[in-house]
Chain A
Amino acid sequence: MRYVVGAADDLPPGSSTIVYPEKVKSGIGVFNINGEFYALKNTCPHMGGPLCKGHVRGTSTAELPTDGMPEMHWVRDGEIVSCPWHHWEFEIKTGRTIFKSKQKVRSYPVTIESPEELERLKAGVETVPISVEGDAVVLEI
């Protein structure tokens, strides 16, 4: 089922929003990273927290030299969301945890549809109360 999030212009790079379709009541977070859109379920696999309400940021990495302290770097700015409850970090593009694990949060395909394409899709779209001007961000849920 297709779900219209809203106008692409309303979600500029570096921003995010959360939508609450009937089918996914806890919400789906939609993120714009450098012009590419990604969507994650707003439920942390750890203990069910509202993952997409967390900080969007980068993360730490470290090199471990044979001599001297580990060298820390801040990397991947804007690509990581951390759950507000226990700060588990997820890579937005895939939903995988940054720490080594098999856990991930569910992600949803996102497309950008022109007004003409949206017209054609209208039959299968969960209707949105406001009309969308210009290109639309659409989820497959």
Chain B
Amino acid sequence: MKIDCAIHPVLGSVEFNKAIGSPWNFLKLPPLFGEKYRSPFDQLSVTPEQAMSPAAVAAYLRSTDVDYAVLSPTTRGYWPNPQQAAAVARAANTLLFKKWLESSESEGRFLGSIRLAMNDTDTALREIDRWADDDRFVQLVVPARSLATFGEQRFFPIWRAAAERGLVVYVHDDFSTLIEPPPSQVGFPSFFAEDHALRPMASIVQLTSFIIAGVFERLPELRVVFGDLSVHAARSLAIRTDKDWQSDRMEVPWVSDDPTTYLARHVRFVTQADDEISPHSKAATGTIGGDNSSLVVYGSRHPYWDGAKAEDVFPTWSENDRARCFADNAVEFYPRIASRVSAELSS
């Protein structure tokens, strides 16, 4: 079996704006990947038409032997107008439902994400309620560059709802292209190449926040997947939280064990292109925070140019460990995929 946890279909500007509705649909949408840091090449590996087409995506999945794919279209990150943000999230979810999940091309392969705008928690909770009863929605998707760290209390009801309803929280770094905040703590790098290399930063900030603010401590059932952060990049910063957690106790007494222990229970990392070349990828087991072979879930990140091909990830691992990466870990981690697979097996 193969499960692709990261398919990012493109919502075309015209259909997207139409779905957002008035008065919000007069805005000329910025390009998907932003305007400040333009790549010197096309960032989609297929044509825009193919990226927007359920038939084309289904053909891609058949060609890569994928049984289930979790779809999460980008909605350009943070929208400052909270009314517009809510309309955008609702539009994305409606489009995903009507055009993708309900399409005949799905053939039962397409699984969905409930996109949330993080501006107002009550609005986000209502958006979850709108879709969560449809068990094809297996996760919430939230933007990494949310302008506030996810450990803040105002987001807590969203994580609690996710934990209660068996929905994974998928952190997708989709750039916040409307406002394009500085991509780093120093400010603005000069080149696309730098900006691209620094991609993991926002996700690392959110991972650290989840751990240190005690979100994982408080919600034993919460599951988080990072779509744009390799297990190696995550670990190199997470180790720092381990170094000093005993000293930090006076400020954050709820961190009750060394922080990387939360990784194995609560976090998974989608396969990234850096997995292919990292020397740390050779080790499937025996690493801080949990075995690599337990912490990664396969995601092609189709149709982005910098996704991972299945045959290229972790070639030195045993067949068993690769199988865990391609299917078992996702089945184990996503409650709604687990029940879907077991229902299929028993039918």
Contacts and interface: CB of A to CB of B under 8 A. Distances in A.
A122 interface: no
Contacts of B247: 86-88
Interface string A61-89: 11010111110100000000010001111
A100 B253 contact: no
A32 B231 CA distance: 49
A89 B254 CA distance: 15
Contacts of A87: 247, 250
B254 A62 contact: yes
Contacts, number: 44
A123 to B, nearest CB: 44
A89 B153 CA distance: 27
Contacts of B257: 100
Interface string B175-204: 000000000000000000000000000000
Interface string B158-170: 0010000000000
Given A64-B218, A100-B256, A69 B153 contact: yes
B214 interface: yes
B246 A86 contact: yes
A72 B153 contact: no
Given A87-B247, A99-B246, A68 B253 contact: no
B212 to A, nearest CB: 12
B251 interface: yes
A68 B153 contact: yes
A88 B160 CA distance: 32
A86 to B, nearest CB: 5
Contact of A70 (B249, B250, B254): B254
B246 A88 contact: yes
Interface residues of B, number: 17
B217 interface: yes
Given A86-B246, A88-B247, A62 B253 contact: yes
A77 to B, nearest CB: 13
Contacts of A61: 253
B217 A72 contact: no
A46 B247 CA distance: 11
Nearest to A69: B153
A89 to B, nearest CB: 6
A26 interface: no
A99 B253 CA distance: 8
Contacts of B217: 64
B218 A99 contact: no
A60 interface: yes
Given A64-B218, A68-B153, A70-B214, A98 B254 contact: no
A97 interface: yes
A66 B88 CA distance: 30
Contacts of B244: 86
A89 B256 contact: no
Interface in A15-67: 46, 59-62, 64, 66-67
Given A60-B249, A70-B214, 5 more contacts: A60-B253, A64-B218, A68-B153, A87-B250, A100-B257
Instruction: List 5 tightest A-B contacts by C-beta distance, closest first.
Output: A87-B247, A60-B253, A69-B153, A62-B253, A99-B246
Interface of A: 46, 59-62, 64, 66-70, 72, 82, 86-89, 97-101
20 contacts: A59-B249, A59-B250, A60-B251, A60-B253, A62-B253, A64-B214, A64-B254, A67-B157, A70-B218, A86-B244, A86-B246, A87-B247, A87-B250, A89-B246, A89-B249, A89-B250, A99-B245, A99-B249, A99-B256, A100-B256
Interface of B: 153, 157, 160, 214, 217-218, 244-247, 249-251, 253-254, 256-257
